[in-house]
Amino acid sequence: MRPMIAAAGLFALATVLLAALPARAEYGAIAYDGKTGRSGWAVHEPSAPRAAEKAISECGGSDCKVVVKIGPRMCGALARIEGQKHVGAAERPDRDAARLAALNDCKKPNLGECVVKFNECNR
């Protein structure tokens, strides 16, 4: 009986300690260079500044700017028109909603067919 009580106590203590640990927040970003049409993105980064830095680095242009920040438990998407320098980008709570919002944002100037280039979540 004592070993069961001890095991139950240890289990309860472990549960409390694990619940007290901070959750690993994950951040993301989408960067875009309007002059060259280059883009870059990052997800699963430990901080928002690190996500922005990585997305800008992946973009690779001197005029790359973060166009969407992707928070913890959020999804981001980027859509673009091939051969054009216009993109649509969005952050939403789920992948499909982010994809649709990016496509809708991309279609605004009606320059051609938009194609999703990036669609990921911080989970």
As given in the structure block, the two tokens for residue 28 are 């993301």
Question: What is the model's pLDDT at position 13?
Answer: 44
Residue-wise pLDDT tens digits, 39-96: 999 999 999 999 999 999 999 978 999 999 999 999 999 999 888 888 999 999 999 9
pLDDT band, residue 3 (cuts 50/70/90):
low
pLDDT band, residue 17 (cuts 50/70/90):
very low
Asked if pLDDT for residue 123 goes beyond 50, the answer is yes
Mean pLDDT of the chain: 85
At residue 100, φ and ψ (nearest 5 deg) are: -65, -40
Q: Which one-letter DSSP state was computed for residue 22?
A: P
Cα–Cα distance measured from residue 28 to residue 121, given in angstroms and rounded to the nearest whole number: 8
Ramachandran class of 30: left when φ > 0, alpha when ψ lies in -120 to 50, beta otherwise = beta
As given in the structure block, the two tokens for residue 66 are 């973060």
> Does the global pTM surpass 0.85?
no
